[in-house]
Amino acid sequence: MNRLSAFIIKEFRHILRDRRTLLILFGMPVAQVLLFGFVLTNEIKNASIAVLDPSKDTESIALTNQLVSSGYFRLERTLSSIDEIDAAFRTGKIKMALVFPPGFSAAMERGEAQLQFIGDASDPNTATTLVNYANAIVFDFQRNKLQSAGATSVAPVINVQSRMRYNPEQKGVFNFVPGVMTLILMLVSAMMTSITIAREKEMGTMEVLLVSPLKPIQIILGKTAPYLALTLVNALVIILLGIFVFGMPLLGSVVLLAAECVLYMFVALSLGIFISTKAKDQMTAMFMSALGLMMPTMLLSGFIFPRESMPVPLQVVGSFIPATWFNSIIKGIMIKGVGFGYIWKQTLILGGMALFFLVLSLRSFKDKLE
C-alpha cells in the first residue's frame, strides 16, 4: 500500500511539473468554457444597418429610433438614394437596409404604409434572424400606435416586405463554402508546415540540412513550397465543388480570387514557420496550431458565429485573425462580385500580416538555428 501511495504521489509531482500537461488539463477547459460561453449565442446584437428615409417625418424617425434602441441594430449609414443600397452592401459594412417610402406618416394614417427590409443573405442565418427581429419591432411599434389611436382614427397599418440580397433562396452553402475554405487553407498551410519543420528538428535531421550548401531561407522555401502547391489544389477543389455541386456563384474575378488565396496562404505559411520555431516536437507544433489557429478561426472569425454578437474584447481579438479578413474577401468576390476597390482594406491588412509574420518567423528561425 505504501508503494502504491508513493507511486501515486510521484505521478502527481510529474504532472504538476509538466507545464504542457497542466495547460491541457486546466488551461484548455477554462479557455473553451469562456470562449463558447461568450460566442455561442442565438442572439445577434449591434448589427449594422443603413436607412433610406426620404420622408424624414415623425413616424419614420420614431420607428428608426425604436429599431436602434432595441440593442439589436446599430445605425451605420443614412442613405440618400436607392442606388446607394447595393454599394453599401458591397462594402460589407451593413447587414440590413431599411427603406421608407415618401410620406410615411401620412400613409400610416391612411393604413397604407409600406416598409421594406433588405437583408445581406451572403450569411443567410444572420439575415433571416435580423429580418425577424425587425418584423417583431415593427409589430410592437404598430401595437403601440393602435393603443394610442383608439377608435378615433384609421388603424395604422404597415405592410412590411422582406427581400434577401445575393441569396434569395437563403442557401446555407453560401456561408459554408467560404468558411470551410478559410479553415482548410489555414490548417493545411500552417499546421502541416509547422509539423514538417518540427519533425526535422525532432529526428535530428535539421543539423544535416544546415551543414548542406542550402541557406536557411532555401530550407524554408523547400519545406513550404509543396504545401503551397497542395493548398492551391485544395482551394481549387473546394471552389469547384461549391460551384458545380452546391450551386455557389462566382460573380467576381477569378484572377483576383486566386491572388487573394495565395496571399492568405503566405500568411498561414508564415504562421506555420513561426510555430515550428517555438515547438520542440511534432506534438507540440500540432497542439499549438490547433489551439492557436483552428479554434480562433472557427469561433472568432465570423465563419460560424456573427462577430457583432461577441463582446468587444473578442471582436478586437478577432480583428487580428487572418481568417476574419479572408472570409470577408471570399464572400465579396464570389457572392457579391466586388472588385479590388471594395476589398483593398482587407487585402492591405492581410498583406501587412503576411509581411509581419514572415519577417518574425525568419528571424526566429535563424535565431533557433544559430
Within-domain flag for 265:
yes
Per-residue confidence band for 7, with pLDDT thresholds at 50, 70 and 90: low
Do 148 and 212 lie in one domain? The reply is: no
pLDDT digits (tens, 9 = 90+) for 110-145: 778 889 999 998 888 888 889 999 999 988 888 887
Residue 201 contacts residue 247 (beta carbons within 8 Å):
no
Within-domain flag for 96:
yes
By percentage, how much of the chain surpasses pLDDT 70? 84
Do 139 and 238 lie in one domain? The reply is: no
Do 228 and 356 lie in one domain? The reply is: yes
Q: Compute CA distances 258 → 18, 113, 230, 236, 261, whole Å.
A: 44, 47, 14, 9, 5
Do 149 and 204 lie in one domain? The reply is: no
Strand partners, 98: 51, 117
Do 316 and 196 lie in one domain? The reply is: yes
Do 124 and 185 lie in one domain? The reply is: no
Within-domain flag for 19:
no
Do 199 and 135 lie in one domain? The reply is: no
Cα 337 → chain centroid: 19
Within-domain flag for 2:
no
Q: What is the mean pLDDT of residues 87-113?
A: 86
Kindly write down the DSSP assignment for every residue of 152-187, as one continuous string: SSPPP-EEEEEEEES-TT--THHHHHHHHHHHHHHI
Do 144 and 214 lie in one domain? The reply is: no
Cell numbers standing for residue 98:
431599411
Residues 6+ apart with CB under 8 A from 302: 318, 324, 327, 328
pLDDT of residue 288: 78
The mean pLDDT value of the chain amounts to 82
Note down the domain range covering 97.
Answer: 47-165
pLDDT at 153 exceeding the cut of 60: no
Domain count of the chain? 2
Point out the least confidently predicted range of 208-212, 224-228, 240-244.
208-212
Do 275 and 184 lie in one domain? The reply is: yes
Within-domain flag for 4:
no
Do 207 and 146 lie in one domain? The reply is: no
Of the three residues 130, 148, 165, the one that is the final residue of a domain is 165
